[in-house]
Protein backbone atom coordinates (compact mmCIF):
# COMPACT_ATOMS: atom_id res chain seq x y z
CA UNK A 1 0.00 0.00 0.00
CA UNK A 2 0.92 3.66 -0.38
CA UNK A 3 0.86 5.08 3.15
CA UNK A 4 1.38 8.62 4.50
CA UNK A 5 2.50 8.98 8.11
CA UNK A 6 1.23 11.99 10.04
CA UNK A 7 3.39 12.27 13.17
CA UNK A 8 6.92 11.31 14.18
CA UNK A 9 6.70 10.10 17.79
CA UNK A 10 7.40 6.62 19.17
CA UNK A 11 4.33 4.98 17.61
CA UNK A 12 4.85 6.61 14.17
CA UNK A 13 8.52 5.62 14.24
CA UNK A 14 8.01 1.94 15.13
CA UNK A 15 4.92 1.57 12.96
CA UNK A 16 6.59 3.30 10.01
CA UNK A 17 9.60 1.00 10.21
CA UNK A 18 7.38 -2.10 10.43
CA UNK A 19 5.28 -1.03 7.43
CA UNK A 20 8.39 -0.20 5.42
CA UNK A 21 9.95 -3.57 6.29
CA UNK A 22 6.74 -5.33 5.22
CA UNK A 23 7.15 -3.84 1.73
CA UNK A 24 4.72 -0.93 1.87
CA UNK A 25 5.60 2.41 0.36
CA UNK A 26 5.75 5.28 2.84
CA UNK A 27 4.84 8.24 0.62
CA UNK A 28 5.67 11.01 3.08
CA UNK A 29 6.21 11.69 6.78
CA UNK A 30 4.64 14.82 8.20
CA UNK A 31 5.57 16.49 11.47
CA UNK A 32 5.05 20.10 12.58
CA UNK A 33 8.65 19.86 13.71
CA UNK A 34 10.73 19.74 10.50
CA UNK A 35 13.69 18.19 12.31
CA UNK A 36 11.59 15.31 13.69
CA UNK A 37 10.01 14.74 10.28
CA UNK A 38 13.45 14.66 8.64
CA UNK A 39 14.84 12.18 11.20
CA UNK A 40 12.05 9.67 10.72
CA UNK A 41 11.96 10.19 6.93
CA UNK A 42 15.70 9.47 6.77
CA UNK A 43 15.19 6.33 8.87
CA UNK A 44 12.50 4.93 6.57
CA UNK A 45 13.83 6.45 3.35
CA UNK A 46 10.98 8.76 2.39
CA UNK A 47 10.16 12.45 2.02
CA UNK A 48 9.73 14.68 5.08
CA UNK A 49 7.22 17.53 5.15
CA UNK A 50 6.35 19.97 7.91
CA UNK A 51 3.50 21.77 6.19
CA UNK A 52 0.21 20.00 5.42
CA UNK A 53 -0.01 22.11 2.24
CA UNK A 54 2.77 19.92 0.82
CA UNK A 55 0.85 16.66 1.19
CA UNK A 56 1.15 14.37 -1.83
CA UNK A 57 -2.46 13.29 -2.50
CA UNK A 58 -1.31 10.18 -4.32
CA UNK A 59 -1.60 7.89 -1.27
CA UNK A 60 -3.96 5.10 -0.17
CA UNK A 61 -4.08 5.84 3.56
CA UNK A 62 -3.22 8.52 6.09
CA UNK A 63 -2.04 7.16 9.45
CA UNK A 64 -2.43 9.90 12.06
CA UNK A 65 -0.12 9.23 15.00
CA UNK A 66 -0.06 12.50 16.95
CA UNK A 67 -1.04 13.66 20.46
CA UNK A 68 -4.66 12.74 21.25
CA UNK A 69 -5.87 16.35 21.43
CA UNK A 70 -4.88 17.27 17.87
CA UNK A 71 -6.13 14.12 16.08
CA UNK A 72 -9.55 15.63 15.37
CA UNK A 73 -8.17 18.83 13.85
CA UNK A 74 -5.63 17.06 11.65
CA UNK A 75 -8.19 14.56 10.38
CA UNK A 76 -10.46 17.41 9.45
CA UNK A 77 -7.64 19.20 7.57
CA UNK A 78 -6.94 16.04 5.57
CA UNK A 79 -10.55 15.90 4.26
CA UNK A 80 -9.69 17.70 1.02
CA UNK A 81 -7.72 14.68 -0.18
CA UNK A 82 -10.77 12.37 0.16
CA UNK A 83 -8.64 9.45 1.28
CA UNK A 84 -9.15 7.13 4.26
CA UNK A 85 -7.62 8.26 7.56
CA UNK A 86 -6.90 6.17 10.66
CA UNK A 87 -5.56 7.15 14.05
CA UNK A 88 -3.35 5.00 16.31
CA UNK A 89 -4.65 6.08 19.73
CA UNK A 90 -5.90 3.75 22.44
CA UNK A 91 -7.80 6.49 24.23
CA UNK A 92 -9.54 8.18 21.29
CA UNK A 93 -12.90 6.98 19.89
CA UNK A 94 -13.42 6.45 16.18
CA UNK A 95 -15.98 9.27 16.37
CA UNK A 96 -13.13 11.77 16.81
CA UNK A 97 -12.57 11.37 13.08
CA UNK A 98 -16.17 12.16 12.10
CA UNK A 99 -15.35 15.61 10.75
CA UNK A 100 -13.14 13.91 8.19
CA UNK A 101 -14.92 13.66 4.88
CA UNK A 102 -14.27 10.10 3.77
CA UNK A 103 -13.66 6.73 5.41
CA UNK A 104 -12.03 6.63 8.79
CA UNK A 105 -10.73 4.01 11.15
CA UNK A 106 -8.41 3.06 13.98
CA UNK A 107 -5.09 1.22 13.70
CA UNK A 108 -3.96 0.83 17.32
CA UNK A 109 -0.84 -1.15 18.21
CA UNK A 110 -1.21 -2.28 21.84
CA UNK A 111 2.37 -2.05 23.05
CA UNK A 112 4.67 0.27 24.99
CA UNK A 113 7.20 1.81 22.61
CA UNK A 114 10.53 3.42 23.50
CA UNK A 115 12.90 5.32 21.28
CA UNK A 116 15.80 3.15 22.41
CA UNK A 117 14.33 -0.33 22.04
CA UNK A 118 13.55 -2.41 18.97
CA UNK A 119 10.15 -4.12 19.09
CA UNK A 120 9.30 -7.29 17.19
CA UNK A 121 6.11 -5.98 15.59
CA UNK A 122 4.95 -9.53 14.75
CA UNK A 123 4.07 -9.92 18.45
CA UNK A 124 2.25 -6.58 18.78
CA UNK A 125 -1.56 -6.94 18.91
CA UNK A 126 -3.12 -4.67 16.26
CA UNK A 127 -6.59 -3.41 17.24
CA UNK A 128 -8.58 -2.22 14.25
CA UNK A 129 -11.91 -0.50 13.75
CA UNK A 130 -13.46 1.35 10.78
CA UNK A 131 -16.55 3.24 9.67
CA UNK A 132 -17.22 0.74 6.90
CA UNK A 133 -16.53 -2.90 6.08
CA UNK A 134 -14.30 -2.12 3.08
CA UNK A 135 -11.85 -0.09 5.13
CA UNK A 136 -12.03 -2.67 7.96
CA UNK A 137 -11.02 -5.39 5.48
CA UNK A 138 -8.20 -3.20 4.16
CA UNK A 139 -6.94 -2.52 7.69
CA UNK A 140 -7.17 -6.21 8.60
CA UNK A 141 -5.10 -7.06 5.54
CA UNK A 142 -2.60 -4.28 6.24
CA UNK A 143 -2.26 -5.20 9.93
CA UNK A 144 -1.66 -8.85 9.07
CA UNK A 145 1.39 -7.87 7.00
CA UNK A 146 3.11 -6.54 10.13
CA UNK A 147 1.59 -8.49 13.04
CA UNK A 148 0.49 -12.03 13.89
CA UNK A 149 -2.27 -10.71 16.17
CA UNK A 150 -5.06 -8.70 14.52
CA UNK A 151 -8.22 -7.95 16.52
CA UNK A 152 -11.41 -6.11 15.61
CA UNK A 153 -11.98 -3.90 18.67
CA UNK A 154 -14.67 -1.22 18.93
CA UNK A 155 -14.17 2.17 20.58
CA UNK A 156 -15.80 1.13 23.87
CA UNK A 157 -13.62 -1.98 24.10
CA UNK A 158 -10.54 0.02 23.19
CA UNK A 159 -11.20 2.39 26.12
CA UNK A 160 -11.20 -0.64 28.40
CA UNK A 161 -7.97 -1.93 26.83
CA UNK A 162 -6.34 1.43 27.41
CA UNK A 163 -7.40 1.37 31.06
CA UNK A 164 -6.37 -2.27 31.51
CA UNK A 165 -2.96 -1.46 30.01
CA UNK A 166 -2.39 0.97 32.89
CA UNK A 167 -2.90 -1.94 35.31
CA UNK A 168 -0.79 -4.35 33.22
CA UNK A 169 2.09 -2.01 32.36
CA UNK A 170 2.27 1.41 34.06
CA UNK A 171 1.44 0.23 37.59
CA UNK A 172 3.73 -2.84 37.55
CA UNK A 173 6.56 -0.61 36.32
CA UNK A 174 5.98 1.72 39.28
CA UNK A 175 6.12 -1.27 41.64
CA UNK A 176 9.42 -2.33 40.02
CA UNK A 177 10.60 1.18 40.84
CA UNK A 178 9.47 0.85 44.47
CA UNK A 179 11.35 -2.46 44.80
CA UNK A 180 14.46 -0.93 43.22
CA UNK A 181 14.32 1.95 45.70
CA UNK A 182 14.00 -0.42 48.67
CA UNK A 183 17.06 -2.30 47.44
CA UNK A 184 19.09 0.84 46.79
CA UNK A 185 18.40 2.04 50.32
CA UNK A 186 20.09 -1.14 51.59
CA UNK A 187 22.99 -1.18 49.11
CA UNK A 188 21.47 -4.06 47.15
CA UNK A 189 21.84 -4.46 43.40
CA UNK A 190 18.62 -4.29 41.30
CA UNK A 191 20.05 -7.21 39.29
CA UNK A 192 18.94 -9.36 42.22
CA UNK A 193 15.29 -8.75 41.24
CA UNK A 194 15.49 -8.60 37.45
CA UNK A 195 15.19 -12.38 36.88
CA UNK A 196 12.17 -12.47 39.23
CA UNK A 197 10.48 -9.68 37.26
CA UNK A 198 11.08 -11.57 33.99
CA UNK A 199 9.78 -14.86 35.32
CA UNK A 200 6.66 -13.21 36.80
CA UNK A 201 5.79 -11.79 33.37
CA UNK A 202 6.73 -15.05 31.62
CA UNK A 203 4.43 -17.11 33.84
CA UNK A 204 1.30 -15.28 32.69
CA UNK A 205 2.18 -15.83 29.04
CA UNK A 206 0.88 -19.38 29.49
CA UNK A 207 -1.29 -19.14 32.59
CA UNK A 208 -3.96 -16.81 33.92
CA UNK A 209 -2.51 -14.55 36.64
CA UNK A 210 -4.93 -15.85 39.29
CA UNK A 211 -3.56 -19.38 38.79
CA UNK A 212 0.05 -18.36 39.51
CA UNK A 213 -0.37 -15.81 42.31
CA UNK A 214 2.26 -16.31 45.02
CA UNK A 215 3.41 -14.46 48.14
CA UNK A 216 2.26 -13.88 51.74
CA UNK A 217 -1.16 -12.38 50.89
CA UNK A 218 -2.46 -15.29 48.83
CA UNK A 219 -1.35 -17.67 51.63
CA UNK A 220 -3.00 -15.27 54.13
CA UNK A 221 0.35 -15.37 55.96
CA UNK A 222 -0.36 -12.68 58.57
CA UNK A 223 3.03 -13.02 60.24
CA UNK A 224 4.98 -12.19 57.06
CA UNK A 225 2.64 -9.31 56.17
CA UNK A 226 2.99 -7.73 59.62
CA UNK A 227 6.78 -8.13 59.40
CA UNK A 228 6.82 -6.50 55.95
CA UNK A 229 4.78 -3.50 57.09
CA UNK A 230 7.12 -3.08 60.07
CA UNK A 231 10.09 -3.19 57.69
CA UNK A 232 8.55 -0.38 55.61
CA UNK A 233 9.35 1.64 58.70
CA UNK A 234 6.71 4.33 58.52
CA UNK A 235 6.90 4.94 54.75
CA UNK A 236 3.24 5.93 54.44
CA UNK A 237 3.00 5.59 50.68
CA UNK A 238 4.51 2.12 50.36
CA UNK A 239 2.64 0.96 53.48
CA UNK A 240 -0.68 2.07 51.97
CA UNK A 241 0.18 0.31 48.69
CA UNK A 242 1.28 -2.83 50.54
CA UNK A 243 -1.93 -2.98 52.57
CA UNK A 244 -4.32 -2.17 49.73
CA UNK A 245 -2.83 -4.70 47.30
CA UNK A 246 -2.47 -7.38 49.99
CA UNK A 247 -6.16 -6.98 50.93
CA UNK A 248 -7.10 -7.27 47.25
CA UNK A 249 -5.03 -10.47 46.91
CA UNK A 250 -6.56 -11.95 50.07
CA UNK A 251 -10.01 -11.23 48.62
CA UNK A 252 -8.98 -12.84 45.31
CA UNK A 253 -7.75 -15.87 47.27
CA UNK A 254 -11.22 -16.23 48.76
CA UNK A 255 -12.63 -16.38 45.24
CA UNK A 256 -14.33 -12.99 45.48
CA UNK A 257 -14.65 -11.29 42.08
CA UNK A 258 -12.30 -8.42 41.21
CA UNK A 259 -14.67 -7.09 38.58
CA UNK A 260 -18.39 -7.81 38.37
Near a copy of itself in 128-187, by CB under 8 A: 149, 151, 153, 156-157, 159-187
Q: Does 101 bind a copy of itself (CB under 8 A)?
A: no
Helices of type H across 145-186: 155-165, 171-185
State the nearest-atom distance from the C-beta of 211 to a copy of itself, in Å: 9
Q: Are 98 and 73 in contact (CB under 8 A)?
A: no
Closest CA to 168 of 208, 129, 118: 208
For a copy of itself, the binding residues in 35-64 under the rule CB under 8 A are none
Number of residues that bind a copy of itself (CB under 8 A): 95
Comparing CB distances to a copy of itself, the nearer of 49 and 150 is 150
Comparing CB distances to a copy of itself, the nearer of 133 and 199 is 199
Among the residue ranges 18-26, 30-38, 76-84, 232-240, the one whose residues contact a copy of itself (CB under 8 A)? 232-240
State the nearest-atom distance from the C-beta of 119 to a copy of itself, in Å: 7
Q: Does 228 bind a copy of itself (CB under 8 A)?
A: yes
Closest CA to 69 of 83, 87, 54: 87
Alpha-carbon gap, residue 141 to 139, rounded angstroms: 5
Q: How far is CA 85 from CA 10, 30, 47, 65, 187, in A?
A: 19, 14, 19, 11, 52
Amino acid sequence: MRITLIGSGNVATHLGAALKNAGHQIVQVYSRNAHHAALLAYHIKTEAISDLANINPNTDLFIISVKDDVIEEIASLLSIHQKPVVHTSGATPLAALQKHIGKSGVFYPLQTFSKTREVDFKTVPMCIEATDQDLLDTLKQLASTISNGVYAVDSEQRRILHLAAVFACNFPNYLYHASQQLLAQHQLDFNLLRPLISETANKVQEHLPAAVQTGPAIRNDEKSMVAHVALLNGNDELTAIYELLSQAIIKMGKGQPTVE
